[in-house]
Amino acid sequence: MSWTALIAPAGFFAISFAAGLFACALVKRIGVVDAPDGNRKTQARPVPRLGGVAILFGTLIGMALSFVILMLAYGADPVSTFTDLIAGAFETNTDLGIAMAFVAVSFAIGLWDDISTANTKLKLAILSIAALTAAILGLSAEAFQTPFGDLALPILLVIGSAAWLIVMVNAVNFMDGSNGLAIGALAIMLAALAAISATSGTWSAAIWWFPVFGAIGAFLLHNIRGQIYAGDAGALGLGALFAALGIASDLNVWTIATIALPFLVDVLLTLIWRAKHGRNWLEAHLDHAYQRLIANGWSHLETAIFYWGLTATTGGMAYIAALAGGAAPFAVFWGLWIALSVIWVRHRRTAQLSDLSG
């Protein structure tokens, strides 16, 4: 690998990191905050919650500056190069435009909620319509691969893909209740997606991933200390980015789902548990496994590191399974699902005993 191949990504990351720090400093002064409520929001003081906006602007500013620097370095014409770059990206993957549109809608819904507290049911309805529309327009899996044969019925693919988009976007939002956990894990998930996409030859945004990681890194520097929150714009936007790019990558569906398993297991089993106990799915609560860990004395940093480790493990296993091909992605997904589900159930029982003894 040449030095240029290493320096350029590092430069893109550094520029976006700096832009992200600047953006975080700005959004802290806007005055949109998350106030403690004595229940689910247990922070000691109001915390700025437009971190998603800071990540967006850090990414865009970092990309723009990096692009200009590259054009100056190589003496290329910026306008024609930019036009060719965009055209090439969308020609390579026709689903990319739909994916970006879905991300934009998800981000806008989240920003609406951050600024004026949107109605939960209305927000979910709009998001569901956006997901179904994106799937109908072409952002859907090519097939659901199984060892017993591929399922490729169009209506099944559309419904399944829309369900994936809705579940994944909301899962990230549900998991965004501990400093650094959700956005840090998402950065790992996006890195795994980038690595697997590049290796498998499906598609890759290559060097343009690094501005995203740089902006997220700048945000995490503040977020891990509880100084700024991603808000719904950050959680829904980045959740949509992973979910939509996962479909657009044309990777095996089990590979993409394996990367996100720590989130999927915690969210889906918690929803099942709440339904079993007659609790409203849409009400704010403290029933997720990560919330019980914090309630039992784990720090936010310890909890985040634990989930980062789980996500890195499932991402690594997804990478290995993707390289192996065949039935490996299917087998790895369900093997890890069972293992993580057993851990979740044991944790839930331990947490219940702790609550009773307390």
DSSP 264-324: HHHHHHHHHHHHHTT--TTS--S-SHHHHHHHTT--HHHHHHHHHHHHHHHHHHHHHHHHH
pLDDT score, position 250: 86
pLDDT score, position 1: 43
State the pTM of this model.
0.90
Mean pLDDT, rounded, for 94-106: 90
Q: SS3 letters for 171-240?
A: HHHHHCCCCCHHHHHHHHHHHHHHHHHHHHCCCCCHHHHHHHHHHHHHHHHHHCCCCCCCHHHHHHHHHH
Listed residue (348, 166, 202, 335) closest to 269, CA to CA: 348
Q: Which residue has the higher pLDDT, 181 or 198?
A: 181
Q: What is the mean pLDDT of the chain?
A: 86
How far, in Å, CA of 335 to CA of 232, rounded? 32
Listed residue (45, 307, 27, 26) closest to 180, CA to CA: 307
Mean pLDDT, rounded, for 318-347: 94
Q: Is the pLDDT of residue 105 over 60?
A: yes
pLDDT score, position 284: 73
Which residue type occupies 353? L
**Tens digits of per-residue pLDDT, 197-242?**
888 755 555 667 889 999 999 999 999 999 999 999 999 999 999 9
pLDDT score, position 158: 95
Mean pLDDT, rounded, for 86-105: 76
pLDDT score, position 254: 96
pLDDT score, position 89: 55
The confidence band for 20, taking pLDDT boundaries of 50, 70 and 90, is very high
The confidence band for 41, taking pLDDT boundaries of 50, 70 and 90, is low
pLDDT score, position 357: 47
Which residue type occupies 228? I
Domain parsing of the chain, residue ranges? 3-357
Q: Is the pLDDT of residue 353 over 80?
A: no
**Tens digits of per-residue pLDDT, 243-281?**
999 999 889 999 999 999 999 999 999 999 888 888 887
Q: Is the pLDDT of residue 356 over 80?
A: no
Residue 32: strand, helix, or coil: coil
pLDDT score, position 208: 75
Listed residue (74, 138, 128, 53) closest to 100, CA to CA: 138
Q: Is the pLDDT of residue 317 over 90?
A: yes
**Dihedral angle computed from the Cα positions of residues 23, 26, 32 and 33, in that order, rounded to the nearest 10 degrees:** 80
Q: What's 48's DSSP letter? A: E
Among residues of the chain, what percentage have pLDDT more than 70? 85
Q: Is residue 358 exposed (0-12), middle (13-18) or buried (19+ Cβ within 10 Å)? A: exposed
Q: Are 176 and 230 in contact (CB under 8 A)?
A: yes
The residues pairing with 151 across neighbouring beta strands, listed in sequence order, are 144
Mean pLDDT, rounded, for 3-32: 83
pLDDT score, position 70: 72
The confidence band for 347, taking pLDDT boundaries of 50, 70 and 90, is confident
The most confident of 20-29, 198-207, 287-296, 341-350, by mean pLDDT: 20-29
Q: Is the pLDDT of residue 75 over 80?
A: no
Q: Is the pLDDT of residue 92 over 90?
A: no
